[in-house]
Chain A
């Protein structure tokens, strides 16, 4: 098992830059065949967790595939991530990674930037191979008013 924290951090950062560039094949290349992806937010109004996206790998691939057919906001999103904590599970040969996340949206027209969302990534990373692989990503959003929303996973 490779317990080099730097390679785990680089994996998290590479998922961000791949999504920033809308390079979905690069992103999927960093993910396991059993990849699971989920976005949730806790609502203090109704005191419940809400699951806003919940996809396996095949569903993620379909999502990326159908994105161009929809009308979407094309303003680029920039993910700023800081890995807070990496803990290792020797039995499973995995790392659990907590990453603070801020996402900025930059207007195409004029280039003004605003905060789009803040939250955290809770990632499970497999360390069983020569390179770390993302097995599971749970995005917990603090931001819930996302304006007109977005089509691209965050």
Chain B
């Protein structure tokens, strides 16, 4: 039966954890609040160490808190991160996304900075500033940086944040053997700018019910009773993270997949492990390729998706070529699955745009935490509500103070079986 206006917008007769207020996906004020309360305080995955492999290599990152950053490896091999802002008159220090420079020299008036963020030259400094300002007064703003969980560079704008390990907890434990056996290397980096809310696309990584969207996944997983697909189980971790148990992907079922038997150290052949991290990072290891998603919200209805595809640093050119080929079938901009995921998430963004009178969004499937359960999205929004101090099912309702990450006690791990 179709519904009238009142029926369409009334709250579902479900626990409030099982639906979301659509305003959280389109309201500009909520987006600004997310920047302040979440993105300026949470650990974000900004790059991989292989992107700054050598001393003086640098790489930029557009932080979702709103600040442009530059990541740089020092002579001491330590990776540090700075605001990409020249402290003189606020020019961009680095214009290119990557490079190698002994010193970062601002093009404007040639102030120079070393890889520790110290100002090392002010042209005609003494003549203009006498003793009022000297080099030691005008260093770069350094941002908390840690490298880990597969050699990724993580940054946090909040100087008083807790260490990265406190944020990740045990969420990545079941993937650590695969992540840390050998050094990794980025094979692809690409962006996609979409007109949607970042939580909608992150949700798409957190629910597998949408395998109905993917012909490739239906046929290589759901249709093969031996694949273990329907036994995949969610494990919810503190701080809004969740993992999905491993399975065997039946690539033979998809003619033309061209998928190799290459594999990945420690991962069972044709295995697939996935971990979603709060607020919008996903580790996705599928047979021979690691895909890392790290999303940069640009507005309530705009997001820049960063995708990285990784292989092993020790790969020969032939092996690397095969890994790229394996990734291309499903995950390149021309890949079978990625295009479908991005179409669906963009469709949500279009349909539920501000002012479009959307209904409450259902997150209500319960299947004993197995693969088509929507517990991943529910667990995420519980964390989102804690950080925002705002209910995700009724965005006008304030709840206890927002969660300052450094001091908040971690939620208890939910009583869910460990991934297979």
Interface residues of A (CB under 8 A from B): 39, 41, 43-48, 50-55, 59, 61-63, 65-66, 69-73, 144-154
Contact = CB atoms under 8 A, between A and B. Distances in A.
Nearest to A153: B334
A46 B216 CA distance: 29
A84 B256 CA distance: 34
Contact of B194 (A41, A53, A69, A148): A148
Contact of B340 (A50, A54, A66, A71): A71
Contacts of B186: 46, 48
27 contacts: A41-B190, A43-B188, A43-B190, A45-B98, A48-B188, A50-B309, A51-B325, A52-B328, A54-B321, A54-B324, A54-B325, A59-B258, A65-B256, A66-B215, A66-B254, A66-B256, A66-B336, A70-B215, A71-B215, A73-B339, A144-B191, A145-B190, A147-B193, A148-B194, A148-B343, A148-B346, A149-B334
Given A45-B189, A46-B51, A146-B333, A70 B216 contact: yes
Contacts of A71: 213, 215, 340, 343-344
A47 B321 CA distance: 16
B342 interface: yes
B90 interface: no
A65 B215 CA distance: 13
B332 A53 contact: yes
Nearest to B322: A54
B324 A72 contact: no
B192 A45 contact: no
A151 B97 contact: no
B255 interface: yes
A150 B333 contact: yes
Nearest to A48: B187
Contacts, number: 114
Contact of A45 (B59, B214, B216): B59
Contacts of A144: 190-191, 333
B96 interface: yes
Interface in B174-211: 186-194
B335 interface: yes
A7 to B, nearest CB: 30
Contact of B97 (A45, A55, A145): A45
A145 B195 CA distance: 13
A39 B214 CA distance: 23
Nearest to A61: B256
A72 B334 CA distance: 10
B338 interface: yes
A151 B336 contact: yes
A46 B189 contact: yes
Nearest to A145: B191
A66 B255 contact: yes
B216 A51 contact: no
A87 B407 CA distance: 68
A47 B333 CA distance: 18
B319 to A, nearest CB: 13
Contacts of B59: 45
Nearest to A152: B334
Contacts of A72: 339-340, 343
A71 B192 CA distance: 18
Contacts of A55: 258
A71 B345 CA distance: 13
B194 A147 contact: yes
A64 to B, nearest CB: 9
A107 B10 CA distance: 34
A44 B335 CA distance: 22
A41 B324 CA distance: 13
A150 B339 contact: yes
Contact of A44 (B96, B254, B346): B96
A52 B339 contact: no
